[in-house]
Amino acid sequence: MKKITLLGILGLLAFCLLAPSVYADHGATLSLTPSTGTFVVGSTFDVSLMLDTNGVDMNAVAAFLKFPSDKLQVISSSAGKSVVTLWSVPPRFNNQNGTIELQGVVTGGLNATNALITTITFRVRGTGSAIISIADESRVLKHDGSGTDFLQHHYHGIYTLVLPPPAGPLVVSETHPNQEQWYKNFNVSITWSQPSGIKADGYSYVLNAIPVDTPDTVSEGQEQFVVYQQVGDGIKYFHIKAFRNGVWGGTTHFALQIDTTEPAEFPLEISPSARTSEKQPVVRFITTDALSGISRYELKVIPLSAPKEFQSSDQPLFIEAQSPFILSELTRGRYDVLVRAYDNAGNFRESVRRITIRDVFFGFASNEGFEVDGWFVIPWSWIFIVFMLLFVFLGYRLLILRGQDNKLRAEGGKDMPASVRNELKELKKYREKYGKMLLVALMIGSLWRGHTGEARELTVDPPLITTVSGNISNQDIFYVGGKTNISQSKVVFYLQNLATGETRSFETLSNEYGDWFYSHDTFLSSGDYVLWAQSSIGEISSAPSSRVELTVRPTAVQFRSSRLAYDSIYQIALVLLSVALVILTTRVVRGHRKLRARKEQIMKEVREAEEVVRQGFALLRRDIQHELETIQKMKLEKELREEEKEREKQLLGDLTDIERRIGEEIWDIEKFGY
């Protein structure tokens, strides 16, 4: 028993601690009552703004509402039964902008689940669907001294607005049967009849943009049909009443929704780029339609270099798509991505973007230049200029290296450097004086060698051409597509070369929706063309469609049955130039290495020659010193004769000169610029 009591106390304590947080997680709610409904044009209805505080005290509210001003009009806003006790901004509205605004305070705070803030009365002005929304700027403030906003949810109201039920003749339209549907046909056919089946004495009718209107009392005759041609876009209303037995009856209103305008133009964004190595690029697209609104998007990918793949019989013309759309895996080549945006009336706007799938990641060669991973394009002219400058620079360096090499060969071939030869002459002269010159000459000769180097009564309407391959070259597949009003019919189109006059015809079939498409199985020759199409059922053919001009650019060189694209030629030229540049650079580098090795060899041999010369002079110095020592001994024993004194003087001078020569550098190779 004690255990149960303890658990109960702990549970109650946990509930008390958690209860505030539970309420804190559920803020206030603003909603509209009723939230749905169907109302007749010309009638009025009330919408109440309600507040639920979800167990939390509040003391202030600010609400901002929006409504379609072309379909609804505010008549009044009542605050008589509102829980708001003090209005800082009383409910006010703007029928031109379609806005309602209010701000108020509840003195002492309020905790309620279904509190009335205000009631708004609307009048129905037009047909269709109307949304009354509570804007995100709305606020509900807590009664906590800080005015904390705790509005968490706000719910809109959606209302259906319709015409009054027929009070006069029964009206139908063969061209626009559904009053809630948009049509792209601006020619309107309307028929009517009396509910009782008895023909009236006359009818008065009018077509205008007023949802509820009454025709005048002037009869238009007893005919029970009317045709309007080239009616303008928008929602139009047909009003009719009957005259019978001298009395005008009630009025019937019939809505016509017409939209003949295509959706707005829109671009296609390709990620990561239109030229990419990514095999599944992403396509992004969006557009708007001013009247009927966007219904759907359809997409098709057309290969420009693989016609057999496209002409697969089980491949759909277009598929429904939503943005962003990830394309199926594509192989290397060029493609046209077509996206059609349809509005609710069936009009469509088509946008085309060409993409190129490549194998390499770093760069891509095209007719414009060399693209570096989608960042920028280097024009071919710049590339060739840079290559030419590099060729000139490397060629000049190669000529300089060859000149230096030839100079070294001349210096280091059969003869020694001039400075070394002069020193050897001096050494020979001294050795002739003092002997032992033969050994030195043999040593020098053995060290120096020459150097070597190395290099119907059925009428058939003409088909409509809606899609033509644009900006194509003679290496792109030609395609054409369109619509016809007869499903599963044969479409024949003609392609005429304006230069030669040659005309060729091709056939394709429309699908169950009347769409047709043709992709050529070969490349077209460059030039200007004109094309047109005809539909046919059996032996009956339509009139020719309007003509479409087509230009095929020359971006490939043709050799009989083979062709070579200009971008391929550019790539080949780029590869050849790169190979030639590598070869020339290699020769320059090898020339530098050979010249440096030759310098080192010459320096080594010159140093060895210098050392031999020094050794020769050292031997001479030793001999002269010995002879001077002999003369000094003679001076101690007797006085020298004049010729002996002259000999001593000459020896001292030669000794000084020899010691100077032993201490200095004979030949510095750097002085000669090698």
Q: What pLDDT does residue 142 have?
A: 92
Do both 112 and 37 map to the same domain?
Answer: yes
Give the whole-angstrom CA distance, residue 464 versus residue 517. Answer: 11
| DSSP string of 586-608, one letter each residue | HHHHHHHHHHHHHHHHHHHHHHH
Do both 328 and 383 map to the same domain?
Answer: no
Is residue 558 a part of any domain in this protein? no
Q: What pLDDT does residue 340 have?
A: 95
Q: What pLDDT does residue 169 have?
A: 94
Is residue 497 a part of any domain in this protein? yes
Region of residue 480 (left: phi > 0; alpha: psi -120 to 50; beta: else): beta
Is residue 237 a part of any domain in this protein? yes
From 541, 557, 585, the end of a domain falls on 541
Do both 294 and 402 map to the same domain?
Answer: no
Range of the domain at 524: 464-541
Strands (E), 589-659: none
Q: What is the pTM of this model?
A: 0.63
From 205, 234, 258, the end of a domain falls on 258
Q: Which run of H or E residues covers position 467? A: strand 464-468
Q: Which run of H or E residues covers position 252? A: strand 247-258
Do both 354 and 385 map to the same domain?
Answer: no
Do both 483 and 617 map to the same domain?
Answer: no
Residues 185, 216 contacting (CB under 8 angstroms)? no
From 162, 181, 214, the end of a domain falls on 162
Is residue 11 a part of any domain in this protein? no
Do both 355 and 386 map to the same domain?
Answer: no
Q: What pLDDT does residue 459 have?
A: 67
Domains: count for the chain = 5
Is residue 9 a part of any domain in this protein? no
Residues 482, 467 contacting (CB under 8 angstroms)? yes
Q: Is 83 helix (H, G, I), strand (E, B) or coil?
A: coil
User: Which residues neighbour 272 within 8 Å (Cβ) at sequence distance 6 or greater?
Assistant: 278, 281, 374
Residues 134, 32 contacting (CB under 8 angstroms)? yes
Do both 46 and 195 map to the same domain?
Answer: no
Do both 57 and 116 map to the same domain?
Answer: yes
Q: Which portions of the chain are predicted below pLDDT 70?
A: 1-26, 80, 306-316, 359-377, 380, 404-405, 407-459, 555-571, 609-610, 612-617, 619, 621, 623, 628, 635, 637-640, 644-645, 648, 651, 654-655, 658-674
Q: What pLDDT does residue 21 have?
A: 40
Tokens of 176: 């626009």
Residue pLDDT, tens place only, 78-130 = 776 899 999 999 999 999 999 999 999 998 889 999 999 999 999 999 999 99
What is the b/e burial string over 349-387, where b = at least 16 CB atoms within 10 angstroms of the residue's CB?
Answer: bbbbbbbbbbeeeebbbbeebbbeeeeebeebeebeeeb
The CATH number linked to 504 is 2.60.40
Q: Is 313 helix (H, G, I), strand (E, B) or coil?
A: coil
Give the whole-angstrom CA distance, residue 495 versus residue 477. Answer: 14
Do both 586 and 515 map to the same domain?
Answer: no
Give the whole-angstrom CA distance, residue 411 versus residue 455. Answer: 21
Residue pLDDT, tens place only, 134-191 = 999 999 999 888 889 999 999 999 999 999 999 999 999 999 999 999 999 999 999 9
Do both 251 and 283 map to the same domain?
Answer: no
Amino acid at 125: R
Q: Is 377 helix (H, G, I), strand (E, B) or coil?
A: strand
The closest alpha carbon to 243, from 268, 225, 220, 264, belongs to 220
What is the dihedral sign for C-alpha 645, 650, 652, 655? negative
Is residue 623 a part of any domain in this protein? yes
Q: What pLDDT does residue 372 have?
A: 58
* Cα–Cα–Cα angle for 74, 76, 79, rounded to 5 degrees: 130
Report in angstroms the alpha-carbon separations of 8 from 4, 11, 12, 19, 551: 6, 5, 6, 16, 88
Q: Is 499 exposed, middle or buried (0-12, 13-18, 19+ CB in 10 A)?
A: exposed
DSSP conformation class of 640: P
Q: Is 41 exposed, middle or buried (0-12, 13-18, 19+ CB in 10 A)?
A: buried
The neighbouring-strand residues paired with 301 are 337
Is residue 15 a part of any domain in this protein? no
User: Which residues neighbour 243 within 8 Å (Cβ) at sequence distance 6 or greater?
Assistant: 200, 201, 202, 203, 204, 217, 219, 249
The closest alpha carbon to 133, from 64, 66, 63, belongs to 66
The CATH number linked to 334 is 2.60.40.10
Is residue 559 a part of any domain in this protein? no
Do both 302 and 214 map to the same domain?
Answer: no
Give the whole-angstrom CA distance, residue 649 versus residue 667. Answer: 30
Do both 127 and 187 map to the same domain?
Answer: no
